[in-house]
A = this chain, B = another copy of it.
């Protein structure tokens, strides 16, 4: 067995053992751990900044670009936000142990479900050190053990954070192995983590498309993930014009780099000539490049950042001030386009027509489907989950924004009185 394999197996074995203790830990202990970790983070802010400075110095020496450096930086405010985030998790209800649907059956047994932790969660993420604390907190609260594999650029900061997490766990009487970080920066460690289903129940990757795509090729452990967010807004010809302008502008321009940002705008031909010029005026203020099909291009001939769309544009997640635009005959064509090109993340219709709204909700096969609201709302906090470990575009298990509940499963429980099968 290679050294890395042996090392990862050791982490896995300890995580599996710790997961048993975490599964039966009571809410008070788990909340106490969160409280102690938050306090330790506030106490050691200077130490954390120093560790982060080490990472930043190495990153600068390696010529890391400005955007990455920004994500790697742990500011005073980020430190406070981490601590506050943990304190907010304390207030969330404990999902574990919840019993539901207990019903008597004709045989006399009473059957229902109990919510239980998944076991061991592997988190694979890139530069952002705050994920270390957010993910650890969510896994503790949901009664799971976790193995964290952060970006090698953040290794000093992650080690410092992990030691505070372990201090908090021990202080609350919980096993410190419930949260372990992968100490090696060797890439082979990731390969091991995603192929040891005997120790890891689910992987949550947090990072760019290339990371996720690579993991998907190799993982034998199931993942809660989304590859990309090619989100659509469809403006129906029965749309309220003001709502259409607001939603289509916000869905594109509120933030460009997020997975719930609109990447293709579909407009019904009955309203396109009216709405597109007005919308283009708004996009122009942000210099949004519009990649237009023939029909929309004809309506926006004077738009300064107009490009003709190619087939590839309908599948592209720009993560930038760029938007594909297409005129479609009506609802059926919009739904067909979305179900064909979408990455099944989030889609919205703008319409005042009740039947069309209901058809869009039912027939669009994506994790979040909205009527008259910006796709930017597809988010654990906005949905009221209290926290978010990730977003899933898959249909099995958790779908859409994933909070504490997505880190648990339901098992059947039976209250009997000596019943036997006849």
Contacts and interface: CB of A to CB of B under 8 A. Distances in A.
Given A105-B384, A243-B417, A254-B421, 20 more contacts: A23-B362, A23-B365, A109-B377, A111-B383, A114-B362, A118-B396, A247-B419, A249-B420, A348-B414, A369-B411, A369-B412, A369-B414, A373-B414, A373-B415, A373-B417, A377-B419, A382-B421, A396-B409, A399-B409, A400-B411
Contacts of A367: 411-412
Contacts of A111: 377, 382-384
Given A376-B420, A416-B370, A416-B373, A395 B201 contact: yes
- Looking at A105, A109, A119, A421, the one whose CB has the most chain B CB atoms below 10 A away is A421
Interface of A: 20, 23-24, 97, 103, 105, 107, 109, 111, 114, 116, 118-119, 201-202, 222, 240, 242-243, 246-247, 249-251, 254, 339, 348, 359, 361-363, 365-374, 376-378, 382-384, 394-397, 399-401, 409-421
A353 to B, nearest CB: 14
23 contacts: A20-B363, A23-B365, A24-B363, A105-B384, A109-B377, A114-B362, A118-B396, A119-B365, A201-B396, A246-B418, A250-B421, A367-B412, A370-B413, A372-B419, A373-B415, A373-B420, A376-B420, A377-B414, A377-B419, A377-B421, A399-B410, A400-B412, A401-B412
Contacts of A399: 409-412
B373 A411 contact: no
Nearest to A366: B411
Contacts of A370: 109, 413-414, 416
A384 to B, nearest CB: 6
Contacts of A243: 417-418
A306 to B, nearest CB: 24
A270 B254 CA distance: 67
A412 B409 CA distance: 18
Q: Nearest 10 pairs between A and B by C-beta?
A: A373-B416, A243-B418, A250-B420, A370-B414, A376-B421, A372-B416, A396-B397, A400-B412, A395-B409, A368-B412
A284 to B, nearest CB: 18
A271 to B, nearest CB: 16
A413 to B, nearest CB: 5
Contacts of A361: 114, 413
B372 A418 contact: yes
Nearest to A239: B418
Given A111-B383, A362-B24, A384-B103, A372 B247 contact: no
A125 B290 CA distance: 51
A107 B116 CA distance: 31
Given A97-B362, A119-B395, A397-B396, A105 B414 contact: no
